[in-house]
A and B are shown apart, each in its own frame.
Chain A
């Protein structure tokens, strides 16, 4: 190696930006879309329930708490669980989602 090397030029040549594989994008993008979509659906449902049924008033408050921290631990829980349950849709998915939220909140409030 030459004694007069331009170290910064060498560093730029060696440390080129690396494009992620398409496989990563293919895997990650649906996962993020799923997370953001489900979180929005659940939030809307909590708001409606709160207006109709006083027993659910805790939920919008929970939504604010969860939403206020960008879904907090819920997102990761949802990420793991939704990854395994991609085909679950509609009311059943929503019901399951709410149960998971309730469980998650119980744990968080219990701390």
Chain B
């Protein structure tokens, strides 16, 4: 970058990236960390970090979407978050879906319990499997995007997601049997 015009174009592109993917980054951060307060901090840091490296990322993306790159930044920051503070993901999510669901009938209460069980199961998966499921289901990313975000091949990502779902399914079946 050599001038003001380039800088303005870059900033315009970054603003677009921010508007388009704020919810994705926040959703990822929230399901990764488990509470809204820290998810907000992580989202903020992700965009500040992204701004810092945006020009290079845009240059090297070769026209590909930048969402995986953005989520990878959040992924790395989340890893630092746990390492620095010696924390683990919280198993009890302040879940938006569960808490905002209407209730009043037994069916709905049972449905809420199912969702809580699912979230609990996701929280207990190994990190890479949990992250892959968050990306697939909360962010609706395809295998190619997830592969880029996790730094894996598409084939390995497909296997990872398959194993994550199988493991979760087994865990839920156990809960069901108890």
A interface list, Cβ under 8 A from B: 1-3, 5, 7-8, 10-21, 23-25, 27-29, 31-32, 35-36, 39-40, 43-44, 47, 64, 67-73, 75-76, 79
Contacts and interface: CB of A to CB of B under 8 A. Distances in A.
Interface stretch (B61-69, B75-83, B113-121, B145-153): B113-121
Contacts, number: 145
Q: Which of A14, A29, A39, A68 has the most CB of B within 10 A?
A: A14
14 contacts: A3-B176, A5-B114, A7-B168, A11-B165, A13-B97, A14-B98, A15-B134, A18-B26, A20-B39, A28-B44, A28-B47, A32-B48, A43-B3, A75-B52
A35 B119 CA distance: 37
Nearest to A73: B52
B22 A20 contact: yes
A70 B34 CA distance: 31
B169 interface: yes
Contacts of B158: none
